[in-house]
Structure 1
Amino acid sequence: MKRDERDAGFAAYVTARRPRLYRTAFLVCGDPHEAEDLVQTALAKLYVAWPRVIAVGQVDAYVRKVIVNAHLDEVRRPHRRRERSTRDELLDRVAQAPVALEETDELWQALRGLSPGQRVVVVLRHYWGLSVNETAETLSISPGTVKSQTSDALERLRSALEQPLLTKRG
């Protein structure tokens, strides 16, 4: 593959997929600056591996795995964590959703209440629409772990999201 062809293919992929990659990174980490860093890390690694990855045809899977692994590495290194943005800064950066702002805020607070592993599983399963096996492969864990993490996460989300509704009604 010639360098011009390689660069053109890579540029086309980035142009088409960058917004979705950013949204994935943001959902996983909850910080707009860290999300940008995660996407940049993933795209730098993708560029180096582009000929191999494109030959296999699993570009999205490769980039998702890099984003998730980079985030989990960051979570495991508390000395490297940056001060998180305030809630208002986060809401300013989030794309407009078809739900009311207070519902978006409640959903985001519920997602932040999940462990990093549970949040990643929810994002991969329900935002990316990956199967249990695809999620397990991406995270290098067993399908049973994906199922239990998903079940626990959804139960925690249901509980967190029902509580504000009960408070508002009652």
Structure 2
Amino acid sequence: MGRLCQFELQKLVMGVLSSDESLHERLIETLVQRFGPIQEESEHVPFLFTDYYNKEMGGQPFRCFIVFKDLVDPSLLATIKLETNEIEQLFADKGNRKINLDPGILSAGSFILATTKNRSHRIPLHDGIYAETTLIYHGHCFNALPWTYADYRTEAFRTLFERYRNDYLQQLRMLENRL
């Protein structure tokens, strides 16, 4: 019989889509209040992979990633997604989202996103939230899977996540050295 143990803490990475840069400072303040200090924010790049969000957001959104300093228990991913859904509603205008938040957890071996949409490859967590392995680390790099979103498939994003992974591993080593 296997022994039960605590999950290894993981890195919280938040994908952000928004077409309104004027909301960004307030969003950052809200995210810090909910999830703690930010370690890093990626550059804002145009989201050109689909026009799915354009109408709702009132224009073409930008994409950025926010990496939080504090490590999290991965079993909290569904709870975090429920909180980000609440934050999206805080910023909504007449029922239309102005911000889309996609929380995920980064480990040494994968990046897992939380979602409300059920698909055959997604694992139910709780309260209508599912988990999807979006990237796997294999062969010294992150690799996409058949269902990985187009932006996460790009070499630029996979390289960015490899850097986040290196930072995460260094943070884990520092924590282990303190024990």
TM-score w.r.t. length of structure 2: 0.29
> Which protein is bigger by CA-based radius of gyration?
1
TM-score w.r.t. length of structure 1: 0.30
Q: Which has the higher strand share?
A: 2
